[in-house]
Structure 1
Amino acid sequence: MMPSQRRIRLFGVLIVITVIALVYMSRGGHQTRTSDFYTKTQEALQELRYEEAAKQRDAEDVGSRLKAAEEQAKQAADKKYESKKVAVEGDDQKSVAGRVKIDGDKVPGVAAQGGRSRDQAVVKEDETLEDHEVEMELNAILKKSPIIIFSKSYCPFSKKAKHILLEKYRIVPEPYVVELDINPLGEKLQALLAKSTGRRTVPNILLMGKSIGGGDDMEELDETDTLVDKIKEMGGSRITEVEHRGARAAKPHRRAKRS
Structure 2
Amino acid sequence: MFIPDWNWTDAEDIPAEGWTMIVSKRNFCYNAKDDSAASLAGGTPLVPLDDLPSSYLAAGMIRLGIYRERPLFIMDRETPPDSLLSIPFRPVLGHLNPDLLRAAMLGYHLVQWIANSRFCGRCGKENTFHHREKARVCPDCGLVTFPRISPAVITAVQKEDRILLAHNKNFAAPVYSLIAGFVEPGESLEEAVAREISEEVGIQVTNISYVSSQPWPFPDSLMLGFTAEWSSGELSPDGIEITDAGWFNRDDHPQLPLKGSIALAIIEKIFAGLC
Q: Say whether the fold is shared (TM-score over 0.5).
A: no
* TM-score of the two chains, using structure 2 as the length reference: 0.25
| More helix, by proportion | 1
* Structure with larger Rg: 1
More strand by share: 2
